[in-house]
Amino acid sequence: EAGVAQSPRYKIIEKRQSVAFWCNPISGHATLYWYQQILGQGPKLLIQFQNNGVVDDSQLPKDRFSAERLKGVDSTLKIQPAKLEDSAVYLCASSLDLPRREQYFGPGTRLTVT
C-alpha cells in the first residue's frame, strides 16, 4: 500500500512570504494530522482532521497558519506570512480513526525561513 505523500520535500522562503504544503494520506484513512517538528524537539500537533472536519486545532497559530481538507482526502497547510521561527519540518500523518490508532507519517517538508 502506498504511504503518506507530501510535497514539496524542501522549501526556502524569506520572512513575510507565504508557503503551502500538500499531503495525500493513505487511502481509507479518515484521520489526518499536521505536525510541526523543530530541530531537536518532538512533533507538535498543529491540527487534526476527521474526514473533512476539524477535531483539534488548539495549537495552530491561526493568525498565520491555515489548513483545509475539503473532500476528506488531500490536505493543504498554509503559512502567511512566514516568520523565522516557522523554520521546521512539517509532518503529515494519517490513521484509520481517532488518536487511539497508530499514525503513519509522510517524509515531511523541511521549511527554511530566511
Partner 1 sequence: GQQVMQIPQYQHVQEGEDFTTYCNSSTTLSNIQWYKQRPGGHPVFLIQLVKSGEVKKQKRLTFQFGEAKKNSSLHITATQTTDVGTYFCAGPVTGNQFYFGTGTSLTVIP
Q: Which is nearer to partner 1, 14 or 97 (CB)?
A: 97
In the shown chain, the binding pattern of residues 58 to 77 toward partner 1, with x for contact by CB under 8 A and - for none, equals xx------------------
Query: How far apart are the C-alpha atoms of 7 and 16, rounded to whole Å?
Result: 21
> Which one-letter amino acid corresponds to residue 47?
I
18 or 51: CB nearest partner 1: 51
Regarding 28 and contact with partner 1 (CB under 8 A), the answer is no
Dihedral angle at the C-alpha atoms of 4, 76, 29, 57, nearest 10 degrees? 120
Closer to partner 1 by CB, 13 or 55: give it: 55
Strand partners, 35: 45, 91
Using CA atoms of 108, 76, 7, 79 in order, give the dihedral in degrees to the nearest 10.
-70
What distance in Å separates the CA atoms of residue 4 and residue 89, rounded to the nearest whole number?
15
Binding to partner 1 in span 82-101, by CB under 8 A: 91, 93, 98-100
Nearer to partner 1, 81 or 104 (CB): 104
Residues within the interface to partner 1 (CB under 8 A):
33, 35, 41-45, 48, 55-56, 58-59, 91, 93, 98-100, 102-108
